[in-house]
Structure 1
Amino acid sequence: MKIVAYGASTSSTSINKALATYTAGLVEGAEVKVLDINDYDVPMFSEDLEKEIGQADGAKEFLNDLADADAFVISYAEHNGHYPAAYKNLFDWATRIDRELFKQKPAVYLATSPGPSGAKSVLAAAEASAPFYAANVKATVSVPGFYDKFDAEAGKATDEALITELKAAVAKLAG
């Protein structure tokens, strides 16, 4: 199984990218490709600019990388209750090329934050909009208090209940 994982964040120390990477790695025998959304250069979306330049190259590259996947593990950062602007912009460009970018491939959606909310607002928004983009969400996991449950330096979860929950979530990717 080829899994594409990413954190919907531009932070170089993204806790969401760390969570997605760790979680995807829980799938035994899987080939995991971790994306960094900073690698996909796209201008700020507008219909006027789209008419002028056509499809943004960064969005085409993002779609090509998604096409390689058999499954997805995506962890959503939350900025003021919503997607980070950079991710939303990349996503907007990509969906203008192919609205059904996830192709009904199985996905696990995650979200985390250092505080008590666990980025639940953005996770709920992502899950609610999933059908519009042909996302086949098999499980969602919100992780509040990230630093209490995860060793960011080692790149692994330290909380047994969280580890069990993440393993159960990714087990659904094969089903």
Structure 2
Amino acid sequence: MAEILALAGSNSSTSINFKLVRYTTSLVQGHDIQELNMAQHPFPMFSEDLEKQEGYPDALVDLKDQIQKVQGLILSVNEHNGNPSAYFKNVLDWLSRIDRKFLDGTKVFLMSASGGKRGGIGSLDVIENMLPRFGAEIVSTFSLPSFHENFKDGNIIENELKEKHQKALDTFLQTLQ
């Protein structure tokens, strides 16, 4: 049984990416899963001046510690103008300053969702290229386009997308055994 941390890269209280995370974790059995709703975790904007004056915020050190305790990470990233949100990029900036290899040895199931037809693929690509710099192993990816048409009542309703998601999740979980 592996420990898995599941979160979205969004601080929105109505995050569709967190809805995708919750759906994903509902399909996982036999592992210890902790869901983290980032809407409940405001962080200051990173700056070297703030880092020198105040050090690392306790909440971010706690997040780093949570990440480093798990074997797997389920992460769904949102997209703003084709890139990760400023919120999530800020979280990554802080975490990488605390410990450059904060994801060392962590296996990641990386997802994205958006209301548009591209499914947040721009953000997914950026994060997929970024996380290995911090030690992550991206095991599988999944993008959910047209969220409001393809996700209803807590489920992916389009069969082909549902199958792709399940296959990506299964691949991730197999690496944790």
Structure 2 length normalisation: TM-score? 0.91
The residue number in structure 2 matching 1:155 is 154
- Asked if 2 retains the 8 angstrom alpha-carbon contact of 1:71 and 1:107, the reply is yes
**Other structure's SS at 2:79 match:** coil
- Asked if 2 retains the 8 angstrom alpha-carbon contact of 1:41 and 1:57, the reply is no
**Other structure's SS at 1:74 match:** strand
Task: State the shift of 1:24 in Å.
Answer: 2.7
Task: State the shift of 1:114 in Å.
Answer: 0.8
Sequence identity (%): 32
User: Structure 2 CA distance, aligned partners of 1:68 and 1:158?
Assistant: 34
Does residue 145 of structure 2 align to residue 132 of structure 1? no
User: Structure 2 CA distance, aligned partners of 1:109 and 1:17?
Assistant: 12
In the TM superposition, 1:59-98 aligns within 5 A as 59-98=60-99
- Asked if 2 retains the 8 angstrom alpha-carbon contact of 1:24 and 1:170, the reply is no
User: Structure 2 CA distance, aligned partners of 1:42 and 1:112?
Assistant: 23
In the TM superposition, 1:100-139 aligns within 5 A as 100-139=101-140
RMSD of Structure 2 on Structure 1 (CA): 1.4
Does residue 17 of structure 2 align to residue 24 of structure 1? no
- Asked if 1 retains the 8 angstrom alpha-carbon contact of 2:11 and 2:42, the reply is no
User: Given residue 63 of structure 1, which amino acid in structure 2 is its aligned partner?
Assistant: K
User: Structure 1 CA distance, aligned partners of 2:90 and 2:121?
Assistant: 21
- Asked if 2 retains the 8 angstrom alpha-carbon contact of 1:40 and 1:62, the reply is no
Task: State the shift of 1:130 in Å.
Answer: 2.1
User: Structure 1 CA distance, aligned partners of 2:38 and 2:114?
Assistant: 18
Structure 1 length normalisation: TM-score? 0.92
**Other structure's SS at 2:116 match:** coil
- Asked if 2 retains the 8 angstrom alpha-carbon contact of 1:4 and 1:32, the reply is yes
- Asked if 2 retains the 8 angstrom alpha-carbon contact of 1:42 and 1:57, the reply is no
**Other structure's SS at 1:172 match:** helix
Structure 2: tracts of 5 or more residues without a match = none
User: Given residue 87 of structure 2, which amino acid in structure 1 is its aligned partner?
Assistant: A
Matched residues, number: 173
- Asked if 2 retains the 8 angstrom alpha-carbon contact of 1:19 and 1:75, the reply is yes
User: Given residue 33 of structure 1, which amino acid in structure 2 is its aligned partner?
Assistant: Q
The residue number in structure 1 matching 2:45 is 44
Does residue 148 of structure 2 align to residue 144 of structure 1? no
**Other structure's SS at 1:83 match:** coil
Moved more, 69-78 or 34-43: 34-43
Cα-to-partner distance string for 1:110-157 (whole Å, 9 max, x where unaligned): 011111111111100011112201111011111111111111xx3222
Structure 1: tracts of 5 or more residues without a match = none
